[in-house]
Structure 1
C-alpha cells in the first residue's frame, strides 16, 4: 500500500497514547508520509473539514488505544470508507487491536508497504428509532450504527431495572423478554457485552445477529443466533413500568418512549479492519483474553 496521508487517532484521556501518536507521526515523517493527529473525542465537523477534499482523504486511519477507542472511531468514521489499523496502547489485550510491538519496532510501515496484511470486512448494525404508526406513516426520529451491539436497559436507576421488551423478527412476533434488558449483537460484538451476559462466541466471519436477554426472569428466555439479513423490531411493552434507553457500543443514544419502536437490521457499509498476517490469530486471542487453560489434569497430574 502506498501511503501519502495517514490519520492518527489516539485515546483522549491517555498520556501513553498521546506519546505513542507523536512517535507514530515521527516514524511516518521519516518515510515522507504526511499525517494528521487528533484525539479520539473529536467533533464530527472536525473530521468533515479534512475529508471534504478528496485529495486530503487519508489512505488509512491508525487508532491508538483499546477496543473502546476503536469502536468510537469506527462509528465516527463509518461514512468515509477508510481502512482502520488499531494498535493496542495502554489497554488490555483487545479483540480488535494489533500488538503495540508493531508500532514501537517500526515494523508496521514495512508491513503496510509490502501488503502483508488482510482487510477484515466487519458487518455493522443499523438502528432506526421510529414513532408508531402505519408503514406509510413511519417516521424515523434518529438513526444509529454500531459495530458491536445495541442494547436496551431501563432508564430508572434508583430501583431494580426490570423492564419488558417485545421483539419481532421478520414481521413475526417472537417473544416478550422480562428482565434487566436485551442485547442485539453482531458476530464481532459477540465477545463483548453479549458474552458477559452469557451469550455465545460467534466467529466474526459469520454473518449473524445474536439476540441475548440480560438477566431474564424466565429460564425459557435463551440467546438466539439469527441471519443478519433479518429485520428485528424492538418495542417497549406498554404495561411495563418506566422507559428504556438505547445504547450502542457502550455509549448512550436516547430514551425509547412508549410510542417509539426500534428497527434493527444489517448496516449498509462494513467496517474495514487491517489485520497483520504476523499478528496473533483469532483463536489465540480468545485463549489469552479468556484465560483458557485446556485440560488442567494434564498440567497437574495426581501424585
Structure 2
C-alpha cells in the first residue's frame, strides 16, 4: 500500500483519540504523506469536505474511536473503496476496531507499506423511500447506507409510541408487526442492536439479511433470516402521529409518511477494514466482547485439565 494521502479521523470531543491522531499525523508526515485530519461525531462529519477537496486518491483512512466512529467512516467511504484502519481509542465494545495495545505507529506504517495486512470486506445495506406500492420504483429520498442495520421505528418526545408495520419480502406480504419497530440487519450488525432484541448472531462471512422485531406485541412474531439478494419493503400503517422514522446505524436518516414504503436491500458497496492481528478470530472476538465463558475460564492444555 502506498501512503501518499491518508485521512486521520478522531472521535469528536475525545481528548485521547485526538492525541493519538496528532501522533499518527506526525509519523506519516515524516514519511512524506499528505494528511487530512478531523473529528467525527453526531455533529461533525468531515468526510464530504475531505472527499471533495482532494485531487489525489486517498490510500487509507485511520479512524480512532469506537464502533460508532468506524460505522460513520464505513458509510462515507465505502462508495470510494477506501480501506479503513479502525483503532479502539475512546470507544467501548469495539467489535469493528483493532486493539490499541497492538498499535505502534512506526511498525504499523512499515507493515502497511510492505502489504503485510489483510482486508476484510463487510456487506452493507441500502434503503430508499418510495411512494405507494412496489410499482413505484423511483425513490423520493436519498439513498441511505448502513453497515450495521436499518431500523424503522417511531420517535416522539412526549410519549412511547408503538408502530404497526407491514413487511413484504420480494413482493410477498410476510407479516404485520405491532410493537416498537423492526431491525433489518447485516451480519456485522447482528452483534449490535439486533442481538439486544434477541435476534440471531450471524458470522460476517455469510451473505444474509436478518429481520428482527423490537418488543412485538405478539409471541408469534419472530426474527427471520433471508438471502442477501432479497428486497425488504416496509409500510408504516395507522401512523396517526406521523412519527415513523428510518434510522441507519443508529443515526436518523429520514421520516416516513403514511402511503410511503421503505425498500431495503444489499448495497453494491462493501466496507473494507484493515486487519493487522495475525491471530484474528471472529469467535475470539465474540468470547471477549460478549463475555462468554470461554473468555473467563482459561485452560492450560487441550485436555481441559
User: TM-score, normalised on structure 1?
Assistant: 0.91
- Pick closer, same or farther for the CA change 1:134–1:209 going to 2, 3 Å: closer
Partner of 1:80: 80
- Residue 109 of structure 1: aligned partner: 109
Contact 1:155 / 1:242 at 8 angstroms: preserved in 2? Answer: no
Q: Note if contact 1:163-1:241 (Cα within 8 Å) is conserved in structure 2.
A: no
In structure 2, the gaps of 5 or more residues are 300-305
**Kept in 2: contact 1:163–1:240 (CA 8 A):** no
- Runs of at least 5 residues in structure 1 that lack an aligned partner in the other structure: none
8 Å CA contact 1:147–1:188 kept in 2: the answer is yes
Counterparts of 2:63 and 2:211 in 1: how far apart (Å)?
A: 29
Name the residue aligned to 1:119: 119
**Is the 8 Å Cα contact of residues 133 and 261 (structure 2) preserved in structure 1?**
no
Report SS of the residue matched to 2:268. coil
* Residue 253 of structure 1: how far off its partner (Å): 1.3
Q: CA deviation at 1:259?
A: 1.4
Kept after mapping to 2: 8 A contact 1:98/1:279: no
Q: Any idea what the Cα deviations from partners look like across 1:102-161, whole Å, max 9, x if unmatched?
A: 434632112212322211111110101111156257443232011110101112342232
Aligned residues: 296
Two-structure CA RMSD over aligned residues (Å): 2.2
SS at match of 1:96: coil
Match of 2:220 in 1: 220
CA distance in 2, matches of 1:77, 1:190: 21
Instruction: Tell whether the 8 Å contact from 1:156 to 1:242 is kept in structure 2 after alignment.
Output: no
Q: Does structure 2 conserve the Cα–Cα contact (< 8 Å) formed by 1:50 and 1:57?
A: no
How many Å separate the matches in 1 of 2:177 and 2:71?
28
Deviations 1:13-32 (A, max 9, x none): 11111100001112212333
Residues 287 and 295 in structure 2, CA contact (< 8 A), matched pair in contact too: no
Contact 1:83 / 1:274 at 8 angstroms: preserved in 2? Answer: yes
| CA-to-aligned-CA distance 1:79-100 (integer Å, 9 cap, x gap) | 2211111011111241110011
